[in-house]
Amino acid sequence: MSLLSVWRAICPIQRHEVKKFLSLAVLMFSVVYNYSLLDGVRDTLIVTSMGAEALNVMDFYGVLPAVFILMLVYIKMTDYLKRQTIFYTFSLFFLGFYILFAFFLYPNQDRIHLDTAQVAHYVSLFPYFKWQLIALGKWSFTCFYIMTELWCAMMLNLLFWEFANHITHAKEALRYYPLLGFLSNWAVVLSGYTLSIISHTDTHKIDHNDHIMQTIILCVILACIAAMSTYAWIGRYILTDATLCAPKKETETHSTHQSLWQSIQMLITSKQLRWIAYLVFFYGIASSFVEAPWKAAIKEAYPTEIAYTQFVGAFLKWKGLTLMPVMLLGSVVIHRFGWFIGAMTTPAVILITGIIFYAFIILHPFVGGLVSLAVMVGSAQIILSKATKYSMFDATKEMLYIPLSQTLRTQGKSAIDMVGSRFSRSAGAFFQSAIFMCFPMLTYQDIIVYLAGIFLLIMIAWIATLGKIHREYTQDTSKCVVYSKADLAR
């Protein structure tokens, strides 16, 4: 095998497509880089100032309604504005908020937030709304958390991928998208290095935290400008080149929007879509039962904003570097061992690492020094669960769409992306926030045994569902989507 054939297998981009592919790669890199930076900052703000228990309140009462409101705004905008105008509008909307936060709200947080005594007074009056009141007391941090989730939902999951799907044909997507996902991990690595470098500089300054926040947001501004400039460059030099972008029918772009109720109806009436929705639900809720206790453990091990930020920077570097080889390994596992083994890998990894993590957290009060080990195991759990999700969970899930009709494949996928993914995270957030509402004086350490038991039940249900899906499709060979090793080798 020649070096040229190996290179073509790794990078199957034709010479005349390099301009188009690299422009999409730069656009995705900029959006992912911003999200990784902002994600690290928002966890630092919320967990160190309020506690990990407040995250569930923000997810359910803040992020969930905000996502649906912004989705309705987006659908309305598509009736009147061009795709390019919509992208610029949302980019400037987010950019304006982050500039306002870094240069006005954050430096003046002591003036605009309720002080600790006021919050404690309101909590004593309404103890069952403790975490909601704490979140409202630091309202600018709460807004930062919500806006960061909206950045991921709108700029990455919706606007970027909608634009990429618009200018990329099916055959190109098979070659472009895996490489885009691979290259985007370098954005995660770079964001980790960015946080680490910034958090280690000028530690002697009195306004060190303000300086860190403003420097990070300056990086966000530069990446956002790069994204908008690349978008404009694509519009001027790619979309006008008939050899790179053959025109598509306009009916494909705006006619597939569904209402929330139509999406729910489709999931209810189609058994095949319900199976896929179950898998998405189990992944989302299982992840939520590990992430929040893990972040609470990080706060215990790294209690200050600076220490927490430095840990997040190191975590992001390892996350990006680990994702890349595991993503390449995922295709080998599915090809060699078949659909069922590939689909079972993600829950198996989450179950094993989750049990070890919960064991360390449960034993932590009785055995000293386990909190650091719990943070390390939790970090490995998060990294490996993300890696197996991107490499095997998503691939095996997408294969379940193959035997469906064209309508179910297109509209059903959008229904699951719109309803199932967000609902799964919100369900986990609602359950945990409900516990803290009923027992407001408890912390994650107090309820960790019960969360571990529920986590095990979720994982058992997930694995049992995979077994049912495997039997369902393999019994009827005419619908066979659960490919065996022999099928994949053809």
CATH topology assigned to domain 16-242:
Growth Hormone; Chain: A; (1.20.1250)
405 Cβ neighbours under 8 A, 6+ residues apart: none
- Output b/e per residue, 152-171; b: 16+ Cβ within 10 A: bbbbbbbbbeebbeebbeee
User: What are the start and end residues of each CATH 1.20.1250.20 domain in the chain?
Assistant: 260-490
Which pLDDT does position 263 carry in this prediction? 60
Pick the more confident residue, 96 or 249. 96
Quick check: pTM over 0.85?
Answer: no
Say how far apart CA 309 and CA 408 lie, in whole Å.
43
Say how far apart CA 182 and CA 327 lie, in whole Å.
8
pLDDT tens digits for 230-265? Answer: 999 999 888 887 677 655 544 444 444 555 566 666
CB 217 within 8 A of CB 362: no
Confidence of residue 12 (pLDDT cuts 50, 70, 90): low
- Output b/e per residue, 99-117; b: 16+ Cβ within 10 A: eebbeebbbebeeebbeee
Q: For the domain 260-490, what is the CATH superfamily, name and number?
A: MFS general substrate transporter like domains (1.20.1250.20)
Say how far apart CA 488 and CA 56 lie, in whole Å.
41
Which pLDDT does position 486 carry in this prediction? 45
Q: Of 78, 84, 18, which is closest to residue 232 (Cα–Cα)?
A: 84
pLDDT tens digits for 320-336? Answer: 888 777 766 766 676 67
Q: If you average pLDDT over every residue of the chain, what do you get?
A: 83
Say how far apart CA 377 and CA 354 lie, in whole Å.
8
Judged against a pLDDT cut of 90, whether residue 469 lies above it is answered with no
The SS3 of residue 260 is helix
Percent of the chain with pLDDT strictly greater than 90: 41
CB 385 within 8 A of CB 350: yes
Report the interhelical angle of 271-301 vs 260-269 (nearest 10°): 110
